[in-house]
Structure 1
Amino acid sequence: MTHKKIRIGTRDSELALWQAKTVQNKLEKLGHETILVPVKSTGDIILDKPLYELGITGIFTKTLDVAMINNDIDIAVHSMKDVPTVLPKGIIEGAVLERANSNDILLHKGVDFLNTNGTIATGSLRRKAQWLHKYPKHAVVDLRGNVNTRMQKLQDSDWNGAIFAAAGLERINLKPKEYIDLDWMIPAPAQGAMLVVAKEDDTYCLEALEKLDHEHSKICVHVEREFLRKLEGGCTAPIGALATIEEDEFHFTGALFSLDGKEKIEVAETIKLEDVNEFGIRCAEKVLNNGGKELMQKIKAVLQ
């Protein structure tokens, strides 16, 4: 069998490097030689505009896609929630690692504001819509940058709090003692999961990555992303989805929100695990037929 040093492409933020090193350690334990290749992504460079204004799906993954197509790296490690539901031609999923905490959490400077007026920061349309759905009197401001930058911006501001993915803060030991677990907020599809991609003709890397795959995590995130793909068709929208498996039961909750958070179209179902094929599509169709089609058109009209 051919042997080669696997070049692992990653963004250069602390969290991205932690994720890449995790994959590196797993591959080296299996006897593979590896090297990390950090790359700066456009999403990390342009921080003065909201993500949806940049108009690029996969803004954090595109730079690594290009590096892979140019043969500068062999595999790339991503936070799966940042990855577009359709991968570039020639690049395929190599492994979905075991999922971490999928919840969103609120970092705050005291909780008195929750019952009055407050200002919350997030760069996510999904988080913004769900926050306004629950706290319609609050203001939500845009927040961009990697985890460390966003935490610093919160400290330096007069905002009451900011929303983060629990997994990201846990991975790099930045989760403070004081936070609120937003267990009512439906996470982004595949939140807390890491995805490793490779070129579809690279059998050496694909065989190596196969051993890192976590079956249950993979099934769950695939259904969530199927739901997302069917709903949005390549447009950024406030969509949450979470699937879990308990024994032979598969639980799914998904929702589409209006940008102002006033409208919410939700689906919550439990089926047998064996019936999971195309379940994400079926759930998305329920949302679309329940007013979701019209809501998506409204969202697209505003964002385009």
Structure 2
Amino acid sequence: MTMLFASSTSMEASLPSASGLHSALFSSTSAGGSLSPLTSNLHFPFSPLHVELTSGRNGRKFHVRGSTVSVESAVRTDVAVVRIGTRGSPLALAQAYETRDKLKAAHPELEEEGALEIVIIKTTGDKILNQPLADIGGKGLFTKEIDDALLQGSIDIAVHSMKDVPTYLPEGTILPCNLPREDVRDAFICPTASSLAELPAGSVIGSASLRRQSQLLYRYPSLKVVNFRGNVQTRIRKLSEGSVQATLLALAGLKRLNMTEHITTILSTEEMLPAIAQGAIGIACRTGDEKMEKYLGSLNHEETRLAVACERAFLETLDGSCRTPIAGYAFRDKDGNCNFRGLIASPDGKKVLETERKGLYQYDDMVALGKDAGQELLKRAGPGFFDW
């Protein structure tokens, strides 16, 4: 702990003895006593002596040398401040708090008050809620402003939902950490039916995800899907008000928000293949920031990182526009190998192409596996498939 000492306010006092000095000093520092300045000097008319007293209440030390008593106030200068950048939605904040709590648990110095700060940043995706994501730019809608803050030094780390992160990272940033992945499946939420199959023809499903829309229409062409944006709480409210008959939400988000009571049923990955990196949290920092890299490296969950790398390699190879429904899921099977399923579709669900791969659960193998799966679907799709 670093101590700063300064000499400022002086006041005169008279004490009969060193024992009286101890009593006077400690009584003056309790309950708003008179020794409030950072340092005070008290002059006493008695013979030279050296006494050191320490107040356990606030860390102050009191030294008597000759006729001068100096009061030293301990000021922390080594508190490790980490500013955590995040969106302001309840789910984004839940993910930022999870990151904060994991940092505290892994690094005792970050348990100090003020060592961790949550910084809320509003993104383009948060500002424009009345249009489909595809119409307002797609890639980077929920990350750009946070990345800018990171590069400008306004924050030290950035917490993202990995499914919102483009396949490229801004120059000057790295993403060395994925937290343990939550359940990747989607949840069906409906007050009137227990499953998608039970919904009457013409029922309206609310979803802002082209991936969900296309897979729904592929399996249930009699249903109607409408754009349905907003945070989880907003969508649940709209559903209860009767705006739509049902909606689909990521199970991971509902779990992190402790809102699983709204779930009607959970869809298998065979029925609804998840978004790339769904359920995964990624944390970025500036390139060359060794301190932040060390902090984030201690939180990284390698199994999740490799699965996300495989899925993002698939997405990057396809290079689909924000108007292209793409899904993919990599996981470790019971034998310890990587299983991967990938899918592309037309927005109306009339054409769906799928592929599967299996390989070693190792970074290079999994990235190559994801790329190979993407190249296969590109060839099968043919020219113009992504021009929606």
TM-score by length of 1: 0.93
Of 366, 369, 372, the match for 1:276: 366
Note if 1:54 corresponds to 2:103.
Answer: no
Note if 1:254 corresponds to 2:342.
Answer: yes
Of 303, 326, 329, the match for 1:216: 303
Over residues 34-72 of structure 1, what are the superposed CA-to-partner deviations in whole Å (9 max), with x where a residue is unaligned?
A: 111111222111101110000141101111011112211
Cα distance, 1:77 vs structure 2: 0.5
- 2:176 partner letter: G
Over residues 134-186 of structure 1, what are the superposed CA-to-partner deviations in whole Å (9 max), with x where a residue is unaligned?
A: 11011100011111111111112341101100000111111225412121100
Of 351, 354, 379, the match for 1:266: 354
Match of 2:331 in 1: 244
Note if 1:4 corresponds to 2:80.
Answer: yes
| C-alpha separation in 1, matches of 2:242 and 2:249 | 16
- Which blocks of at least 5 consecutive residues in structure 2 are unaligned? 1-77
- Which blocks of at least 5 consecutive residues in structure 1 are unaligned? none
Q: Spell out the pairing of 1:97-176 with structure 2 (5 A cutoff).
A: 97-111=179-193, 113-176=198-261
Match of 1:37 in 2: 119
Larger helix percent: 1
| C-alpha separation in 2, matches of 1:10 and 1:37 | 6
Of 68, 76, 79, the match for 2:150: 68
2:239/2:247 contact within 8 Å kept: yes
Shifted more, 58-67 versus 3-12: the winner is 3-12
Cα distance, 1:235 vs structure 2: 4.2
Cα distance, 1:15 vs structure 2: 0.8
| C-alpha separation in 2, matches of 1:141 and 1:224 | 27
The DSSP-based 3-state class of the residue aligned with 1:186 is coil
- 1:128 partner letter: Q
Shifted more, 62-71 versus 105-114: the winner is 105-114
| C-alpha separation in 1, matches of 2:376 and 2:367 | 16
Match of 1:290 in 2: 380
Identity of aligned residues (%): 37
- Greater relative contact order (CA < 8 Å, ≥ 6 in sequence): 1
- 2:97 partner letter: K
| C-alpha separation in 2, matches of 1:115 and 1:146 | 27
Note if 1:179 corresponds to 2:264.
Answer: yes
Of 281, 285, 288, the match for 1:194: 281
Q: Spell out the pairing of 1:77-96 with structure 2 (5 A cutoff).
A: 77-96=159-178
The DSSP-based 3-state class of the residue aligned with 1:105 is strand
Larger radius of gyration: 2
The DSSP-based 3-state class of the residue aligned with 2:273 is coil
The DSSP-based 3-state class of the residue aligned with 1:278 is helix
Runs in 1 of length 4+ with deviation above 6 angstroms? none
The DSSP-based 3-state class of the residue aligned with 2:158 is strand
CA gap of 1:215–1:278, structure 2 versus 1, over 3 A, is same
Computed over aligned residues only, the root mean square deviation of the Cα atoms, in angstroms, reads 1.7
The DSSP-based 3-state class of the residue aligned with 1:290 is helix
